[in-house]
Amino acid sequence: MVNLIVACYTVAVIFLVYSCIKIYRKVPADSREFMDPLSPGLKVIWPWVRILAFYVSENLSVDYLERISKKLQISGLSYIMTAEQYFAIRIISTIFSLGIAIICGVLLENLVINYLIIAAILGYFLPVLTLNDLRKKRQGLIVKSLPVYLDYLTMSIEAGLNMTGALSQAVERGPAGPLRIELEKVIRDMRAGMSRAQSFRNMAQRVQVTEVNSLVSALAQAEKTGASLGQTLRIQSDQRRVERFQRAEKKALEAPVKLVFPLILFIFPVTFMILAFPIAMKFMYEL
């Protein structure tokens, strides 16, 4: 009887392995020749991401995939994964969070369904929070480096270069970051025959930053009215630098308000305990 059970389990495992191999072979090859390299964490789960993206993407609506693609583009992840692969990562995150919750519940001998549901919801929305954080970080880096690139563009334009040459000089000498990548795309679009205004509009749609939208509008207006391009860039550079100092002053003024909560919760109780301990001990010895 035992041998029969072992044989049945062995056959089941063999069929499971065979089915998994067959399912994986149906997934088309993942060509990443023109994509950015994966992080070490994504490399571990990437085979499962490919499988889920291939078998689940058929059930996703086109509108949902377009919205996710735009979010990936704004966050700078459009050259790492597709919208289908991002949804597959959300599924894997849900399963992983649910598995961790089940393991913790079994170890603590307190497996509660409500906790499992909460863990699954948190796992499903964790990639969304990560994507929003990456978007904010990328937009912050673009806003921070924009005045530097505007200075390079202004000096190059005033030195007699055209916009393509000025952009090339700015990209060559400017700091590395997402804005440099976006300007390289602008240069590529302009060399491919796209108009300057449309190339900058495409960049503004990709980054979704108010300062970049203002720059693009100013450049388009200068091109239509025949205004001095160097003067327009200089005004934009000065304005962006003033806004950067204003943001720094705002953060400095907000610091005392943000320190109130940790002071009340962590520092003040410890201080009161240190001050009250000698007094309490003195009263105890006197009694």
33-72 per-position pLDDT tens digit: 777 788 888 888 888 888 888 888 777 888 888 899 888 8
Domain assignment present for residue 258? The answer is no
Residue 30 predicted with pLDDT over 80: no
Angstrom distance (rounded) from CA 117 to CA 101: 9
Domain assignment present for residue 151? The answer is yes
What is 85-131 written as a DSSP string?
HHHHHHHHHHHHHHHHHHHHHHHTT---HHHHHHHHHHHHHHHHHHH
Distance, CA of 71 to chain centre: 9
pLDDT above 90 coverage of the chain, percent: 6
Please identify which residue in the block is written with the tokens 């090339």.
168
Do residues 172 and 39 lie in contact, with contact meaning Cβ atoms separated by under 8 Å?
no
Mean pLDDT of 119-134: 90
- Angular region, 177: left φ>0, alpha ψ -120 to 50, beta rest: left
Please identify which residue in the block is written with the tokens 């919750």.
101
Domain assignment present for residue 27? The answer is no
What kind and span of H or E run contains 141? helix 113-158
Mean pLDDT of 119-145: 90
Distances, alpha carbon 204 to alpha carbons 47, 110, 163, 170, 237, in Å: 34, 52, 17, 18, 17
What's the half-sphere exposure (Cβ side, CA atoms, 13 Å) at 196? 17
Domain assignment present for residue 9? The answer is no
Domain assignment present for residue 174? The answer is yes
Q: What is the CATH number of the domain that holds 172?
A: 1.20.81
Please identify which residue in the block is written with the tokens 């499962």.
48
Angstrom distance (rounded) from CA 33 to CA 48: 20
Domain assignment present for residue 33? The answer is no
Domain assignment present for residue 208? The answer is yes
Please identify which residue in the block is written with the tokens 């980054």.
207
Structural domains in the chain (count): 1
Distances, alpha carbon 263 to alpha carbons 48, 69, 183, 268, in Å: 46, 42, 44, 6
Please identify which residue in the block is written with the tokens 């390299």.
37
Domain assignment present for residue 31? The answer is no
pLDDT level of residue 270 (50, 70, 90 thresholds): confident
Residue 2 predicted with pLDDT over 70: no
Do residues 56 and 84 lie in contact, with contact meaning Cβ atoms separated by under 8 Å?
yes
Q: Report the pLDDT value the prediction gives residue 1, as an integer from 0 to 100.
A: 61
Q: How would you class 72 by CB atoms within 10 Å of its CB: exposed for 0-12, middle for 13-18, buried for 19 or more? A: buried
Q: Report the pLDDT value the prediction gives residue 18, as an integer from 0 to 100.
A: 66
Tens of pLDDT, residue by residue over 155-207, are 888 888 888 888 888 888 888 888 888 888 888 888 888 888 888 888 888 88
Please identify which residue in the block is written with the tokens 């100013």.
218
> What is the extent of the structural domain holding 179?
140-245
Count CB neighbours of 285 within 10 A.
7
E strands, the chain, where?
none
Distances, alpha carbon 145 to alpha carbons 75, 78, 220, 244, in Å: 17, 21, 21, 10
Residue 140 predicted with pLDDT over 80: yes
Average pLDDT, the chain: 83
